[in-house]
């Protein structure tokens, strides 16, 4: 529906252009200003005299309805342009921020990749060292058991050897602290 204010300035006009009988006009006053400002002086009075909006109530009703539908669609279309322009502005701003963030991200990604490589290398080295340690531990434990068994087996021989190599020894089979002089010294 066209409002009263609109109907004075938009509608279907005769001779919007000099070579057209009738066409839609969305800004009658604006077109009048254009004619006064830009058209040759010799054309102006004729153009202004014949350029006129057709009164609503004189339009054939089918044409009037078709024009009103078109007019509403055009207004809706203009509103979508306005929304698009605003959205584009926001998009443009976020694009700058996005590009800066991506640069920062790429830098940190490189640092991250370097750190990841170093971490993986160190972990491999640590795993190898742990394997070697565990292997050495088994070897050690086995050798220790064998050593203790052999030591135990040779104890009688060692006792004989002790009598020979450790003269005047206070060892009683349990401890070396078995003799004490008057001064309290163990000997």
Pick between residue 129 and residue 169 the one whose CB is nearest to Zn ion.
169
- If you count DSSP H runs as helices and E runs as strands, how many of each does the chain have, helices first? 5, 3
Classified as helix, coil or strand, 24 is strand
Closest CB 162 distance from Zn ion, rounded Å: 6
Closest CB 149 distance from Zn ion, rounded Å: 23
Is 25 within 8 Å of 11 (Cβ atoms)?
yes
Closest CB 186 distance from Zn ion, rounded Å: 13
Pick between residue 30 and residue 170 the one whose CB is nearest to Zn ion.
170
- Of the candidates 22, 21, 10, 113, the residue with the CA atom closest to the CA atom of residue 68: 10
Integer Cα distance of 158 and 161 in angstroms: 5
Strand partners, 24: 12
Pick between residue 19 and residue 164 the one whose CB is nearest to Zn ion.
164
Residues binding Zn ion (CB under 5 A):
166, 169, 171
Closest CB 125 distance from Zn ion, rounded Å: 49
Pick between residue 98 and residue 177 the one whose CB is nearest to Zn ion.
177
Strand partners, 13: 23, 53
């Amino acid at each position: 529906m066209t409002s009263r204010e609109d109907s004075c300035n938009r509608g279907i006009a005769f001779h919007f252009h000099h070579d057209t009988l009738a066409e839609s006009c969305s800004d009658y006053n604006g077109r009048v200003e254009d004619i006064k400002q830009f058209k040759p002086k010799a054309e102006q009075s004729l153009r202004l005299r014949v350029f006129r909006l057709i009164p609503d109530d004189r339009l054939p009703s089918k044409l009037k309805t078709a024009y009103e539908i078109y007019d509403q669609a055009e207004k809706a279309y203009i509103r979508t342009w306005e929304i698009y322009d605003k959205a584009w502005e926001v998009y443009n701003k976020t694009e700058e921020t996005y590009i800066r963030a991506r640069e920062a991200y790429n830098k940190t990604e490189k640092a991250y990749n370097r750190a990841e490589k170093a971490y993986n290398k160190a972990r491999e080295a640590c795993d190898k060292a742990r394997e070697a340690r565990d292997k050495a531990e088994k070897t050690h434990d086995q050798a220790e058991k064998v050593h203790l068994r052999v030591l135990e087996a040779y104890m009688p021989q060692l006792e004989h050897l002790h009598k020979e190599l450790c003269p005047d020894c206070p060892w009683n089979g349990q401890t070396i602290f078995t003799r004490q002089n008057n001064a309290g010294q163990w000997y």
